[in-house]
Amino acid sequence: MLPNSRNSLLAASQLTGSDDDATTGAENVSWDLSDLFPSDEALEKCLAESADLADAFATDYRGKIDTLSTHELSVAMKAFGDIQDGMGKAYTYAYLNWSTDTAAPERGALLQSVRESYTAISTSLLFFELEWTKVSDGLALKHMAHNDMVPYAHYLEVLRLGKPYLLSEPEERVMVEKSNTGRSAWNRFFDETLGEMRFDVDGVSLTQQQILAKLHSGERAAREVAARSFTEGLKKASKPLTFVFNTILADKALDDRLRGYSSWISSRNMSNEVADEDVEALVAAVQDGYHHVARYYRLKKEQLGLSEMMEYDRYAPIGEADRQVSWDDARDLVLKAYSEFHPTMGDITRKFFDGNWIDAKLAPAKRGGAFSHGAVPSTHPYIMVNYTGKIRDVQTLAHELGHGVHQYLSRSQGIFHADTPLTTAETASVFGEMLVFQRLMKDEPDPANRLAMLMSKIDDTIATVFRQVSMNRFEHLIHTKRREEGELSAEDFCAAWIETQAPMFGDSVTLSEDYRWWWSYIPHFLHTPGYVYAYAFGELLVLALYARYKKEGEAFSEAYLNLLSSGGSNWPHELVAPLGVDLRDPTFWADGVAAIGEMVSEAERLAAELSA
């Protein structure tokens, strides 16, 4: 179970990190993993029990799935879910324990041990999925329509979609078992390599988080030096990073070929429960809106007083956007915004702070970015951020708490429906950011500060929508080239990066030779190939939902919480339909892009008023 988040994977959009040594109050904010297990021994006991339950499940049901009555199938699903819950709880503990100190050998060893146990148990249960897909359509529909099957029906329905792409059980076992020494191992190597890298700035050794934070500095010289130092570090590590990219691209190509997927992204779209043509419509609508990006950066160049805007200027702060916010103030701000939207959201959010479900302090070997891990229904989510006191860190906290509230509410759906596809998984997080942003704007009377905050929000919106789609185009290009041309050189990746990034900026931003290397640190491409468009999906969906909220008020709030509580119990387009949204309407995406254009127009209007 991977963390459901920006993971992030904020490293690819909102860059966080420490720009100085100022204290924020988050220095001692760490999560308490004892809610999962009080000790490693308790974890090992849980895994052993899960293995025993899996053996018993196989004994009871192997070869019998198509003979079960609906009641017997519901009993089997309950037992299957209990095994999944135990396994997921163990993996959550090992993963979170490793995330805050990726350099500790004993933590890495524990994570690998749990992964191997998880894999072994999973392989012993593969027969269930294979046998279920062979049940006749008529019998399957009869089972899924029964009231006893409500907690399992959509999960079982989605499983049947994968029937054309499944292999035999022995082949599936090989596919699962090889992942520990294949893609999973290379991802861990990538994470640990980036975690151990240090970047020199004026004789000071900085982590990735710290060096990237300097791109948000108000001093242009500091941004330029940071960008150059970061590039030099990436170039020094280009050989192993290029090899990791090539290996994972080849591994995915092999999997897709063996399973018979028509394209590199088909499996991702299927897991996201969205049609290929709907994703293509989204990508096309965003690309058609690239001119809004260029228009915005021309405005920002004027506001910064620059004759030429370089790529390292994109995150430069405007006025108050660079002010510090203490951890306590950030907590109070998010709690207030969430509570005003709906008291239940505020109450759940408070649990994260009071229960030590958040790890916010900076640490040398801690994973970069931020995420919310939904864990399993028998426990609760955990959130990781790297809090440095910037306004964007407040927004990141709001984002991850949006995930957390969603994950907390959806636990009521049980193990099979608690998680959502990546497309709708970003809805609550982005909506949470919007609530906090609107609260900040409401409390700010100064027009100059309002402009600064609006431009900061547009920065993030561009990163979430346009940048993510441009990265989707990069993925498309490198997956295609790797399959058609063989192993790619570092220069091939650099060329693909510039080819897909430049159209977004037009003539508004100058991309230097250094920027050619900035594909190599983004974990999305390796951990979850094809993921990135989900951010654009979520942002544009939220723009529509927030517009409904402004019209409907309290009635919308109740419907929204019902949406979050539904988890992944139905198709995404069915879940959001009661809120007045039609995800299958191609014009929906164009309307969302137009709304971003309106935000840019509002910024232009405010800027003109201030300069008059």
Q: Which residue has the tokens 């892009």?
A: 593
More confident residue, 377 or 324: 377
Closest CA to 318 of 37, 603, 115, 32: 603
Task: Return the bridge partners of 201, or none.
Answer: 204
Taking all residues of the chain, what is their mean pLDDT, rounded to a whole number?
A: 91
- What is the pLDDT at residue 182? 85
CA distance 149 to 155: 10
- What is the pLDDT at residue 90? 96
CA distance 532 to 471: 7
Task: Return the bridge partners of 200, or none.
Answer: 205
- What is the pLDDT at residue 301? 96
How far, in whole angstroms, is CA 396 from its chain's centroid?
Answer: 12
Lowest average pLDDT, out of 87-101, 439-453, 455-469, goes to 439-453
CA distance 499 to 501: 6
Lowest average pLDDT, out of 7-11, 145-149, 396-400, 456-460, goes to 7-11
- What is the pLDDT at residue 71? 97
Give a yes or no: residue 550 inside a domain.
no
Give a yes or no: residue 71 inside a domain.
no
Percent of the chain with pLDDT over 70: 96
What's the whole-number mean pLDDT along residues 277-284?
A: 93
Give the confidence band of 21 by pLDDT, cuts at 50, 70, 90.
low
pTM to 2 decimal places: 0.81
List Cα–Cα distances, 548 to 397, 538, 554, 568, in angstroms. 24, 15, 11, 22
Alpha-helical (H) ranges within 323-390 are 327-341, 343-354
Q: What is the pLDDT of residues 191-230, one digit of tens each?
A: 999 989 999 998 999 989 889 989 988 899 999 999 999 9
User: Which residues in 168-296 belong to E strands, given as ranges?
Assistant: 199-201, 204-206
CA distance 498 to 515: 8
List Cα–Cα distances, 547 to 249, 431, 454, 553, in angstroms. 40, 11, 17, 10
Q: Are 244 and 456 in contact (CB under 8 A)?
A: no
List Cα–Cα distances, 16 to 8, 29, 211, 335, in angstroms. 10, 17, 9, 21
The token pair at 257 is: 């070929």
Give a yes or no: residue 528 inside a domain.
yes
User: Sheet holding 371-373: strands in order across?
Assistant: 358-359, 382-384, 371-373
List Cα–Cα distances, 405 to 193, 372, 396, 402, 471, in angstroms. 32, 10, 14, 5, 28
CA distance 301 to 261: 44
Q: Are 325 and 394 in contact (CB under 8 A)?
A: yes
Q: What is the CATH number of the domain that holds 510?
A: 1.10.1370.20
- What is the pLDDT at residue 422? 81
CA distance 84 to 88: 6
Fill in the DSSP letter of residue 514. Answer: G
What's the whole-number mean pLDDT along residues 559-572?
A: 95
- What is the pLDDT at residue 3? 37
- What is the pLDDT at residue 318? 86
Give a yes or no: residue 164 inside a domain.
no
- What is the pLDDT at residue 9? 32
Give the confidence band of 173 by pLDDT, cuts at 50, 70, 90.
confident
Give the count of beta carbons closer than 10 Å to the beta carbon of residue 267: 19
- What is the pLDDT at residue 8? 34
- What is the pLDDT at residue 15? 33
Q: What is the pLDDT of residues 458-496, one digit of tens each?
A: 998 999 999 999 999 999 999 999 999 999 999 999 999
List Cα–Cα distances, 232 to 16, 192, 396, 412, 514, in angstroms. 20, 18, 28, 48, 8
More confident residue, 75 or 395: 75
List Cα–Cα distances, 57 to 77, 480, 547, 567, in angstroms. 10, 41, 48, 26
- What is the pLDDT at residue 11? 33
List Cα–Cα distances, 604 to 218, 296, 300, 440, in angstroms. 21, 8, 9, 20
CA distance 419 to 534: 15
- What is the pLDDT at residue 6? 34
Give a yes or no: residue 564 inside a domain.
no
Whether pLDDT at 13 is above 70: no
Q: What is the pLDDT of residues 220-229, one digit of tens each?
A: 999 999 999 9
Domain residues for the domain of 244 are 198-321+466-533
- What is the pLDDT at residue 548? 87
Number of domains in the chain: 1
What's the whole-number mean pLDDT along residues 572-589?
A: 89
Give a yes or no: residue 506 inside a domain.
yes
Give a yes or no: residue 171 inside a domain.
no
Whether pLDDT at 4 is above 60: no
Question: Helix count (H) and strand count (E) of the chain?
Answer: 26, 5
Residues sharing a CB contact under 8 Å with residue 525, sequence separation 6 or more, in sequence order: 245, 248, 471, 474, 475, 478, 519
Pairing of strands 358-359, 371-373: unpaired
Give a yes or no: residue 34 inside a domain.
no
Q: Are 410 and 521 in contact (CB under 8 A)?
A: no
CA distance 162 to 207: 42
Give the confidence band of 323 by pLDDT, cuts at 50, 70, 90.
low
- What is the pLDDT at residue 213? 87
